[in-house]
Amino acid sequence: MTGFGQSEISGPDFRISFEIKTFNSRFLDINLRLPKELLQVEMSVRNVIKAKIARGRVEVFLNLETTKGGLYHINRDVVASYRMLVDCLRADFQIDGELTVATVLQLPGVLEVRSPSFSQNMQTFQEQICAGLTATLQGVTQMRLEEGRQLALELLDRIGRCEALVGQVESFVEPAKQAYRQRLSQRLHEYKELASLDESRITQEVAIFAERGDITEEIVRLRSHFEQFRVLVNQGGEVGKKLDFLLQEMNREINTVLSKSLHRKISELGVLVKAEVEKLREQVQNVE
């Protein structure tokens, strides 16, 4: 599910801003964008995310800003040494030219990395990072919960439609079996004299073929799946995979109903149930 959160932590000479975005995805996919100075905390960042989010694409941005002169400083002694050498070259060898700022900055030893305060105690710094991520995830979670509440209402509404359609299917089961028996019996009696069929045999075969079209067990299992689906949606938590499994089972039962259908109306209603189940499966991919 989608979510967004922001937060910030700071120290004596740095400020780190956090931004987390989440998107729908069947699996957990964490994408980190960290400045090179923070690469050493990558594993800690991933662990915090995994503890809070089980499913979805997660984009994490950490931006480092330094205060008090930044991460680099100029070695003035080195610059003075280069300047002295340039003056000597001009005096001794009559070489013309100016020493520009751009040139000086590219010379070895001119720029030195200033160690930020957080590098002095990485354990404490990682605790700060985890605290910042946790605060950011609170905003993400709030948005995801609100979307989850709306999604739960839609899932329950669609499962209600499925149940209503199956109720209509059930009302056609016995009439369909009776109509099938009559049609089959009539056909067999038409060919009775030609085929020299026994009356009891005809009755037996009619019963066998009619029972093959009985979908009572499939309807019972579907109703059970519907109820389990409702329980899981209302229960909350990490239920996405369980809901997906139930929908696969529903789809299997509907396919069986369609293959055994003895009535045009049952087939029509079965197709409608199958369409609702497919829509449910699409939505459930977004449930954690």
Q: State the pLDDT at residue 10.
A: 84
Q: Residue type for 188, please?
A: L
Asked if 94 and 157 sit in the same domain, the reply is: no
Contact 154, 243 (CB under 8 A): no
Q: Residue type for 96, please?
A: D
Domain that holds residue 186: 178-213
Q: Which string of b and e fits 246-268 if b means at least 16 CB within 10 Å?
A: bbebbbebbebbbeebbbeebbe
Asked if 201 and 136 sit in the same domain, the reply is: no
Asked if 102 and 8 sit in the same domain, the reply is: no
Instruction: Give mean pLDDT, residues 141-147.
Output: 89
Domain termination residue (choose one: 213, 235, 264): 213
Q: C-alpha distances in angstroms, 206 versus 181, 202, 211, 256, 265?
A: 6, 6, 9, 21, 21
Residue range 10-53, pLDDT digits in tens: 887 788 999 999 998 878 899 999 988 888 889 999 999 999 88
Asked if 268 and 182 sit in the same domain, the reply is: no
Asked if 218 and 131 sit in the same domain, the reply is: no
Supply the CATH number for residue 226's domain: 1.20.120
Q: State the pLDDT at residue 208.
A: 61
Q: Choose the weakest-confidence range: 99-113, 151-165, 258-272.
A: 99-113
Tell me the pTM: 0.66
In which band, very low, low, confident or very high, does the pLDDT at 125 lie, cut at 50, 70 and 90? Answer: confident
The number of domains in the chain is 4
Q: State the pLDDT at residue 156.
A: 94
Asked if 10 and 130 sit in the same domain, the reply is: yes
What is the total residue count of the chain?
Answer: 288
Asked if 106 and 173 sit in the same domain, the reply is: no
Asked if 52 and 157 sit in the same domain, the reply is: no
Asked if 203 and 155 sit in the same domain, the reply is: no
Asked if 44 and 138 sit in the same domain, the reply is: yes
Asked if 96 and 171 sit in the same domain, the reply is: no
Asked if 7 and 85 sit in the same domain, the reply is: no
Q: State the pLDDT at residue 230.
A: 94
